[in-house]
C-alpha cells in the first residue's frame, strides 16, 4: 500500500509541477545557485586534492610506495644494481653530477643551480672547512677556477628500470626511455623542463662529461618530462651508462659534505619486506652502516588530509549558506502555492484522500523540483569544468586528464534532496492540516 501511495504522490506532484511552470521555474532559480555552490566546492576540493597529490607524487612517489635512501659508498651502487637486475617491482635511481657542453670550462649554472640564478654566485665567503665524524677539521683546498664557457651542469640520474609506476612523470615532448630494447652505445637521455630550458637558452655542444667515465659521451635527447624538480636533471638507462662508466664513483665524506658524489634512491612496491631485508643484509655485509639505510612508506595523502578537510569545511559552510537562501525561496513559493490550492486540497480530503498522502503530494513537488535543479546544477558544473580545462588546462599540467568527480555529483543530488525536504516540509504539514469543511467555500 505504501508503494501505491508513493507512486500516487509522485504522479500528482509531477502534474502539479507541470501545471505551475512559472512558479517551478522561480523555485529552481532560487535553488540553482545554492546547489551549484555545493557542487563547485566539492568538485574544487576533489580536484585540488588530486592536483596536490600529483605534484607531491612527482617528487616523493605514489602513496604506498616504499622509498629507501642508501649512501653511495663501499660498493653500494653495484650491489643495488645486481640485486634489482631484471626485477619490475623495484627501481633504483643512482644520481651524480654531469656537465653537458664544452669540456674543461666553468658551467653557466655552476653547482647545478636553476638557470634563473645562474651567474649570481661566485663570491668569496672564506675558507671551506670540513669536519669528519671523529671531530677532526681541516681546510679544504679551493677548487681551481676554470674559464667560463658554453656548458651546463646537471644532475644525472641513472635508472635500473622504468620509474613511472612509482613517480608519474608527465611527458612534455618526445618519448620516455625504452627499457625493452638493447642498450645503445650513444646513451639516450630524457631532460626535465629546467635542463631543457638551459639547452634552449644557450648554444651548448652535444658532449657530456661524467666523472669516472672512460670517455666523453655524445647523448641522444629523446624527450622532455615534468618531474617537479627545479634543478636541471637528466634521466638515462643505467645499462647504457655502464658502457662508458663500468663502475660507480664512490662518494667520499668530502663529496657528501659538498653535496656531490653518488647517491642512491630506491622505490619498491608495497609488501617488499623480503627484498628490503635482502638489500640490507648485502649492504651491511659490504660494510655500509646499518643506521644509514633508511626505508619509509610514502603517505602524502594522510599528511595533507587535515589541511584539505579544513579548507573543504570552510567552503562547504559558505555553500550551504547560499543553499539556505534557495531553501527559503522554495519554502516561500510552497507556502504561497498551498494557500492558493486550499480548496483543491480540501476537496481531495473530502473524497477520501488521507492527510499523509496529501502531505506527500506537496513534498513530492518540492523533492522533484530539488532533484531537477540538482541535475541542472551538476550538468552546469561538469560543462563549466570542461570549458575551464579547455581555456586554462595548458597552464596547469597537473590538471590534464581531469574528469568531473562523481563525489561532486553525489553532493549535488544530496543538496537537492535536502533542499526539497527543508523547503517542502512546512507547506506539506500545512496542506495536511487543511480541514475538510474548507471545501464549502467553493
Q: What is the 3-state secondary structure (H, E, C) of 63-94?
A: CCCEEEEEECCCCHHHHHHHHHCCCCCEEEEE
Per residue of the chain (442 residues), give pLDDT as tens.
446 656 666 666 666 666 666 767 777 777 887 888 888 887 877 777 777 777 778 888 888 899 988 887 778 888 888 888 888 889 999 988 899 999 888 899 888 889 888 766 554 445 555 555 555 565 556 666 778 888 999 999 999 999 999 998 988 899 999 998 988 888 999 999 999 999 999 988 888 998 878 888 889 999 999 888 889 999 999 989 888 887 655 555 544 444 456 788 999 998 888 888 898 899 888 888 888 888 888 887 777 777 777 777 777 777 777 778 778 877 877 777 777 777 777 777 777 777 787 777 778 888 888 888 888 888 888 888 888 778 776 666 666 667 777 778 888 888 888 888 888 788 878 877 877 766 555 4
Strand partners, 223: 174, 190
3-state percent breakdown (helix, strand, coil) of the chain, nearest 5: 50, 15, 30
Q: What is the pTM of this model?
A: 0.68
CB 160 within 8 A of CB 91: yes
Q: How far apart are CA 120 and CA 134, in angstroms?
A: 35
Take residue 131 and report the three cell numbers written for it.
Answer: 669536519
- The count of residues in the chain is 442
Measured CA to CA in angstroms, residue 267 lies from 48, 67, 178, 231, 309 at distances of: 26, 5, 19, 21, 29
Q: Rounded distance, CA 32 to CA 30, Å?
A: 6
pLDDT value at position 257?
44
Q: How far apart, in whole angstroms, are the C-alpha atoms of residue 239 and residue 82?
A: 11
pLDDT value of position 159 = 93
| Sole residue written with cell 626485477 | 87
CB 339 within 8 A of CB 384: no
For strand 233-237 and strand 151-159, is the pairing parallel, antiparallel, or unpaired? parallel
Rounded CA separation 32/21 (Å): 16
pLDDT for residue 124: 45
Distance CA 400, CA 322 (A): 30
- 265, HSE (Cβ side, Cα atoms, 13 Å): 16
Which run of H or E residues covers position 219?
Answer: none
CA distance 104 to 100: 11
Q: Give me 98's grid cell.
A: 654531469
* Residue (of 244, 150, 148) closest to 189 by Cα position: 244
Amino acid at each position: 500500500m505504501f508503494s501505491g501511495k508513493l507512486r500516487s504522490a509522485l504522479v500528482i506532484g509531477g502534474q502539479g509541477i507541470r501545471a505551475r511552470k512559472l512558479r517551478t521555474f522561480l523555485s529552481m532559480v532560487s535553488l540553482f545557485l545554492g546547489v551549484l555552490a555545493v557542487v563547485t566546492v566539492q568538485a574544487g576540493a576533489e580536484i585540488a586534492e588530486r592536483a596536490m597529490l600529483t605534484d607531491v607524487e612527482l617528487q616523493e612517489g605514489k602513496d604506498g610506495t616504499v622509498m629507501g635512501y642508501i649512501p653511495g659508498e663501499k660498493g653500494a651502487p653495484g650491489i643495488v644494481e645486481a640485486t634489482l637486475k631484471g626485477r619490475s617491482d623495484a627501481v633504483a635511481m643512482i644520481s651524480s653530477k654531469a656537465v653537458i657542453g664544452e669540456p674543461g670550462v666553468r658551467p653557466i649554472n655552476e653547482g647545478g643551480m636553476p638557470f634563473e640564478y645562474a651567474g649570481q654566485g661566485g663570491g668569496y665567503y672564506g675558507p671551506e672547512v670540513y669536519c669528519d665524524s671523529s671531530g677532526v677539521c681541516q681546510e679544504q683546498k679551493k677548487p681551481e677556477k676554470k674559464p667560463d664557457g658554453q656548458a651546463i651542469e646537471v644532475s644525472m640520474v641513472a635508472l635500473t628500470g622504468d620509474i613511472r609506476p612509482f613517480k608519474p612523470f608527465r611527458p612534455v615532448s618526445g618519448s620516455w626511455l625504452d627499457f625493452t630494447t638493447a642498450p645503445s652505445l650513444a646513451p639516450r637521455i630524457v631532460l626535465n623542463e629546467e635542463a631543457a630550458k638551459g639547452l634552449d637558452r644557450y648554444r651548448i655542444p652535444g658532449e657530456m662529461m661524467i666523472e669516472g667515465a672512460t670517455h666523453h659521451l655524445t647523448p641522444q635527447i629523446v624527450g622532455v618530462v615534468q618531474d617537479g624538480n627545479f634543478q636541471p636533471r637528466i634521466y638515462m638507462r643505467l645499462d647504457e651508462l655502464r658502457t662508458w662508466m663500468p663502475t660507480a664513483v664512490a662518494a667520499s665524506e668530502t663529496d657528501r659534505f659538498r653535496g656531490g658524489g653518488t647517491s642512491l634512491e630506491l622505490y619498491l612496491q608495497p609488501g617488499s619486506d623480503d627484498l628490503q631485508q635482502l638489500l640490507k643484509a648485502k649492504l651491511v655485509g659490504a660494510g655500509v652502516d646499518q643506521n644509514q639505510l633508511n626505508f619509509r612508506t610514502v603517505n602524502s595523502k594522510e599528511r595533507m588530509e587535515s589541511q584539505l578537510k579544513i579548507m573543504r569545511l570552510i567552503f562547504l559552510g559558505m555553500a550551504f549558506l547560499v543553499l539556505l537562501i534557495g531553501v527559503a525561496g522554495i519554502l516561500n513559493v510552497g507556502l504561497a502555492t498551498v494557500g492558493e490550492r486550499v480548496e483543491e486540497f480540501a476537496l481531495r480530503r473530502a473524497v477520501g484522500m488521507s492527510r499523509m498522502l496529501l502531505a506527500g503530494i506537496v513534498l513530492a513537488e518540492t523533492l522533484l523540483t530539488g532533484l531537477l535543479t540538482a541535475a541542472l546544477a551538476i550538468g552546469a558544473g561538469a560543462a563549466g569544468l570542461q570549458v575551464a580545462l579547455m581555456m586554462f588546462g595548458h597552464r596547469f599540467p597537473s590538471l590534464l586528464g581531469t574528469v568531473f568527480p562523481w563525489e561532486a555529483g553525489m553532493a549535488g543530488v544530496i543538496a537537492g534532496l535536502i533542499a526539497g525536504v527543508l523547503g517542502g516540509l512546512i507547506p506539506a504539514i500545512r496542506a495536511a492540516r487543511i480541514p475538510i469543511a474548507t471545501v464549502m467555500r467553493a
